[in-house]
């Protein structure tokens, strides 16, 4: 595996843990984090460059971190966060096709 991928995996899980701690301390709600992440995903998927110049698999790669963090956020009330591989599998199972794939 590429070392950069491992670094991104660690970074995503660190952000997920920080988000969970912020929710636990009452500084922000799960809903507020989800709204922020939904907005950035909508911004990414609404970008013309993303749709005109990238394949569906590359679009998924761009959106993957946001989708993983959204799933981790919904799980933040659990005692422990799911592992990266559990979250990644769930991202794959829950992703929807893009409009040009229908």
Domain ranges of the chain: 3-93
Predicted local confidence at residue 91, as pLDDT: 92
Predicted local confidence at residue 19, as pLDDT: 95
Q: Is 61 exposed, middle or buried (0-12, 13-18, 19+ CB in 10 A)?
A: exposed
Calculated CA dihedral for residues 61, 63, 69, 72, nearest 10 degrees: -70
- When pLDDT is cut at 50, 70 and 90, the band that residue 101 belongs to is low
Q: What is the pLDDT of residues 4-53, one digit of tens each?
A: 788 999 999 999 999 999 999 999 999 999 999 999 998 888 877 777 78
Predicted local confidence at residue 97, as pLDDT: 65
Is the pLDDT score of 93 beyond 60? Answer: yes
Q: What is the pLDDT of residues 54-80, one digit of tens each?
A: 888 888 888 999 999 999 999 877 778
Predicted local confidence at residue 28, as pLDDT: 96
Token duo for residue 44:
């990414």
Q: How many C-beta atoms surround the C-beta of residue 83 within 10 A?
A: 10
42-to-1, 16, 60, 98 alpha-carbon distances in Å: 29, 20, 13, 12
Q: Phi, psi at residue 63, to the nearest 5°?
A: -85, -15
């Amino acid at each position: 595996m590429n070392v950069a991928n491992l670094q991104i995996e660690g970074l995503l899980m660190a952000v997920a843990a920080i988000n969970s701690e912020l929710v636990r301390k009452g500084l922000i709600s799960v809903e507020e984090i989800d709204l922020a992440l939904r907005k950035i995903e909508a911004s990414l998927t609404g970008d013309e460059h993303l749709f005109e110049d990238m394949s569906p698999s590359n679009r998924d790669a761009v959106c993957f971190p946001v989708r993983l963090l959204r799933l981790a956020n919904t799980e933040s009330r659990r005692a422990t966060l799911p592992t990266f591989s559990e979250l990644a599998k769930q991202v794959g199972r829950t992703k929807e096709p893009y409009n040009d794939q229908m």
